[in-house]
Amino acid sequence: MLKYISSFLLMLFNLGSYAQKQYNVLDWKTDVSLNTYLVQQMHQQYDQRRAKFNAGLKSKEQILTYIKTVKHSAKEIFGKLSKKVPLNPQITGEIKQNGYRIEKVVYQSFESHHVTANLYVPNGSGKFPAVLLFCGHEDVAKATESYQKTAILLAQNGFVVFVIDPISQSERVQLTDENGKSLTRGSTTEHTLLNLSSNLVGTSVAAYELFDNQRGLDYLLTRKEVDAAKIGCMGNSGGAMQTIYFAAIDERVKAIVPCSYLASREGTLSTTGAADGCAQIPNEGAQLLEMSDYLIAAAPKPILVLAGSYDFIDYNATLQSFEDLKKVYNKLNASNNISLFTYADGHGISKPKREKAVQWFRKWFYNDDRTIVEPDLEVLSDQELFATVKYKVNLSFPNEVTVQQKNKTLFSEHADNRRTFEKLSLIERQKSIQSLLNINLKERAVNVEETGQVQSKFALFHKVILRTENEIPLPALVYYPQNTIKKVVIWLSDDGKNKLIDSTGLMQQYIDKGDVAVIFADLRGTGETADKAELNDPKYFSKDYRNAMLALHIGKPLLGQRTTDIQTILQFISDNEKIKQEGIEVNTKGNIGLAALYAAFLNANISTVNVNQCISSYQQVLEEPLAKDRYSLVLHNQLFYYDIPDLVRWIKTAQINFN
């Protein structure tokens, strides 16, 4: 049978078959079903978060307990950060300006991974308060006009300022050709692709940025000009997200100013969807963390939130999050330590916001609350501010270790743990993998709804909807042969059942056999329930980005959910006396095959899995960062425990064939 299937697969998979509506089973607007399900699951988590938060507000002691909890949860989702190595700082140039100087700085974050930055130092002697300034997604990062002006205004008012380039921006593009040219569309794309591979080895782009920033503070504290007891941090847009994370994790910061980003995870993910990879950490929702919680973790430190009333960042959500902060600070008798400044503009750190930020830092570090007025400021070009010799770390340091290379190193370093995991009993491995997938294999009732029949080119199919409690309905087409059924075959595809069912030769083999039942099904997020293309920005390189990211956010990865769908199909077969069989064959086209492999590992009723056009190792993801449509395959920290070849080797009850 395998030889027969393989003989026409090339022809089958190259056919430009058309999805035909007559094969649809569901009779509602199905392209929103998965997202609706995920959003409902997320709302339930944040209902729990609200209940815990409100309980914490009953007393000062209880809110302190809540703060301790969110600090712990924040550290949990960031996981283990890279090992610290000597900074080996280099000052590669200096620009003298009126009242201050700019030093061009390069330091080492983790081994052979370099960070570029500019240090603004006021003229004069003595120790100055210092501010870390984190950049948003502008390509020129530290050279962005508004960031230069922020740093200059701070320096003119008595602050040392360290402006750090994030990975994927300015001199720190990670995915480049041999000439240093970026291989992606920009930093948001690169962040997202690097985050995918990072998640597989148990980290994230947010964690890499956090570590770079912490190492930046380490460097700042080596400078004789800096007062170590007076450290602030601020950032705009994506830099504000870095600031919010930093506030929760690094105790050394004493005052915090995020601009144009504080909103609501629940609100954003249920409306516009996930942002790029540097702002998304798996299991954040599962840990009941809202965006405001990272700042709550820093309470009662002084926090100024800067916002634009016409920002694309939801201003109502900003107000909601700020209200949470006010409640916490009031309970801690620190209401003067929290403030919101809103200006009638949009996204970005405009002049009025810069002035208010400097005033805030002056208030807390100089005991001076006077109004700050920004004069006309001249800025420099990005090339004038570059810190590396060749304007790119990848070109300037022959042995530079990029994030992609670091993730491959982590994969190698996890080898011992993978060997240890393999020594566990089969039952222990199955339990651990169920936990990673976040699925429950307990038998659940499957409600079967027949909605009619449809004649394909080759056979008559029954339309059925498979429903289980708290899961989205699963559409399937079932072919029952006239003879006694001796075998059941399941077909699954990334592109959905409608693209397979009329393929020349696919059904004829089963009709000729006369005793084979065939099920074509759409696992969630494929076929009938595939998400709309226009709701997934192409810059993220994934056609199901918003749902894959939301699934990771709530701790229910799509790969696990699709494995659950296969379990539902198997339960349907087991409950149906007409087709009840053991030794079920599963055929897959595309990376949906991974869900079939997990199902075979966890369910002995599958005897054969024919996997076509599917990755065979997650090393392919690590080696091919520009590949598309792979976010639905991510299990957070999976490669700490096993890779796909390990999983295949552990399947003893089914024959696995890769084509």
Task: Tell whether 199 is covered by a domain.
Answer: yes
Contact (Cβ atoms closer than 8 angstroms) between residue 216 and residue 117: yes
Q: Report the pLDDT value the prediction gives residue 21, as an integer from 0 to 100.
A: 82
Average of per-residue pLDDT across 500-523: 89
Token readout for 7 is: 């003989």
Give the chain's length: 659
pLDDT above 60 (res 17): no
Phi then psi for residue 484, to 5 deg, are -60, 130
Q: Report the pLDDT value the prediction gives residue 442, as an integer from 0 to 100.
A: 85
Q: Are residues 342 and 453 in the same domain?
A: no
CA angle at 419 for the pair 417 and 420, rounded to the nearest 5°: 60
- A 10 A CB-CB count for 86 gives 8
pLDDT above 50 (res 6): no
Token readout for 160 is: 């040392």
CB neighbours of 175 closer than 8 A, spacing ≥ 6?
Answer: 168, 182, 183, 184, 190, 193, 194, 402, 404, 625, 626
Phi then psi for residue 231, to 5 deg, are -115, 125
Average of per-residue pLDDT across 442-452: 92
Domain C-terminal end among 399, 434, 458? 399
Q: Are residues 458 and 351 in the same domain?
A: no
Place 80 in a pLDDT band, splitting at 50, 70 and 90: very high
Task: Tell whether 58 is covered by a domain.
Answer: no
Beta pairing, strands 516-521 & 487-493: parallel
Q: What mean pLDDT is reported for the chain? A: 95
Chain mean position to CA 530? 20
Q: Are residues 370 and 512 in the same domain?
A: no
- DSSP assignment of 391-436: SSHHHH-TT---HHHHHHHHHHHTHHHHHHHHTS-HHHHHHHHHHH
Q: Are residues 376 and 488 in the same domain?
A: no
As a whole-number percent, the residues of the chain with pLDDT over 90 amount to 91
Distance of alpha carbon 147 from alpha carbon 100, whole angstroms = 16
Average of per-residue pLDDT across 346-357: 98
Token readout for 223 is: 């400078």
CB neighbours of 306 closer than 8 A, spacing ≥ 6?
Answer: 257, 258, 259, 260, 341, 343, 349, 353, 356, 357
Q: Report the pLDDT value the prediction gives residue 20, as an integer from 0 to 100.
A: 65
What's the per-residue H, E or C state across 93-109? EEEEECCEEEEEEEEEC
pLDDT above 70 (res 106): yes
Q: Report the pLDDT value the prediction gives residue 444, as an integer from 0 to 100.
A: 86
CB neighbours of 131 closer than 8 A, spacing ≥ 6?
Answer: 154, 159, 160, 161, 162, 231, 232, 233, 234, 361
Print the domain residue range for 288.
77-399
pLDDT above 50 (res 58): yes
Q: Are residues 85 and 27 in the same domain?
A: no
- DSSP assignment of 219-242: HHTT-TTEEEEEEEEEEETHHHHH
Task: Tell whether 68 is covered by a domain.
Answer: no
Q: Report the pLDDT value the prediction gives residue 10, as an integer from 0 to 100.
A: 41
Domain C-terminal end among 399, 429, 463? 399
Structural domains of the chain, count: 2
Q: Give the model confidence (pLDDT) of 582-629 as tens digits.
A: 899 999 999 999 999 999 999 999 999 999 999 999 999 999 999 999
Q: Are residues 370 and 489 in the same domain?
A: no
Q: Are residues 447 and 359 in the same domain?
A: no
The Cα-based distances of 360 to 125, 133, 302 in angstroms read: 23, 15, 9
- Name the residue with higher pLDDT: 641 or 179: 641
Q: Are residues 469 and 582 in the same domain?
A: yes
pLDDT above 70 (res 43): yes
Task: Tell whether 40 is covered by a domain.
Answer: no
Domain C-terminal end among 344, 376, 399? 399
Q: Are residues 329 and 264 in the same domain?
A: yes
Q: Give the model confidence (pLDDT) of 110-151 as tens digits.
A: 999 999 999 999 999 889 999 999 999 999 999 999 999 999
Q: Are residues 299 and 173 in the same domain?
A: yes
Q: Give the model confidence (pLDDT) of 297-326 as tens digits.
A: 999 999 999 999 999 999 999 999 999 999
Task: Tell whether 61 is covered by a domain.
Answer: no
pLDDT above 90 (res 504): no
Task: Tell whether 514 is covered by a domain.
Answer: yes
Distance of alpha carbon 72 from alpha carbon 74, whole angstroms = 5
Task: Tell whether 11 is covered by a domain.
Answer: yes
Q: Are residues 148 and 258 in the same domain?
A: yes
Q: Report the pLDDT value the prediction gives residue 15, as an integer from 0 to 100.
A: 41
Here the CATH number for the domain that contains residue 95 is 3.40.50.1820
Here the CATH number for the domain that contains residue 598 is 3.40.50
The Cα-based distances of 347 to 134, 238, 307, 312, 322 in angstroms read: 15, 11, 8, 7, 17
Task: Tell whether 179 is covered by a domain.
Answer: yes
Q: Are residues 386 and 488 in the same domain?
A: no
